[in-house]
Amino acid sequence: MAQVGKILAVCTSPKKGMRKTNIGRGLLAVEHGLEGDAHAGKWHRQVSLLAMESIQKMIEKGLTVGPGDFAENLTTEGLDLPALPIGTQVRVLHQALPGALLEVTQIGKVCHSHCAIYELAGDCVMPREGIFVRVLRGGEVEVGDSLEILEPDAAATAGS
């Protein structure tokens, strides 16, 4: 049985290095990322995802944070994102129909300069628990959509 999670926020920012705002819906463009976001482009970190379960860890440390505050594009619920192997394919189920197809390209990242959240709490979950994907097939994405982790045999046929 495929793992299925949910999208709680779709976030963009006009510049890198800042918190993102939940815009509710957006367009995932092939080999580009989320339209209108500063991090979109032709590289391996086109879209970032962070689970609400990870954000909750920072809330439990006393921070008032929520979706977009870690500069993630998609805030999810119900998936263990950092446990997904590189190369895993994730399908967006937009209005219950198969839509965009994403591929995990990186787990976590190196933070060269500590962000405001690290300065406040002495920790930040994005470098360890955030993941990055590239867009293999474009499509709409909006709050409430499901994310389906494809098994390797299903992934082979999903990309065609």
Q: What is the pLDDT of residues 61-88, one digit of tens each?
A: 888 889 998 889 999 999 999 999 999 9
Question: What does R_g of the chain's alpha carbons equal in angstroms?
Answer: 15
CA 70 to chain CA centroid, nearest Å? 11
**CA–CA gap between residue 151 and residue 94 (Å, rounded):** 19
pLDDT of residue 64: 84
pLDDT of residue 59: 87
**Tokens representing 130?**
């955030």
CB neighbours of 19 closer than 8 A, spacing ≥ 6? 13, 68, 69, 70, 71
Q: Which fold has domain 4-158?
A: M1 Pyruvate Kinase; Domain 3 (2.40.33)
Point out the least confidently predicted range of 14-23, 31-40, 117-126: 117-126
pLDDT of residue 69: 85
Locate all alpha helices (DSSP H) within 26-111, ordered by sequence. 52-59
Residue 89 predicted with pLDDT over 70:
yes
C-alpha closest to that of 75 among 43, 49, 113: 49
Point out the least confidently predicted range of 27-31, 50-54, 63-67: 63-67
**CA–CA gap between residue 116 and residue 18 (Å, rounded):** 9
| Mean pLDDT, the chain, integer | 86
96-144 per-position pLDDT tens digit: 888 999 999 998 765 545 555 455 545 555 556 889 999 999 999 999 9
Q: Which residues pair with 27 in a beta bridge?
A: 140
Q: What is the mean pLDDT of residues 45-69?
A: 90
pLDDT of residue 71: 83
pLDDT > 70 fraction of the chain, expressed in percent and rounded = 82
Q: pTM of the entire structure? A: 0.87
Q: Which residues pair with 34 in a beta bridge?
A: 28
Write down the domain spans for the chain.
4-158
From residue 19, alpha-carbon distances to 54, 87, 92, 134 in Å are 16, 27, 23, 21
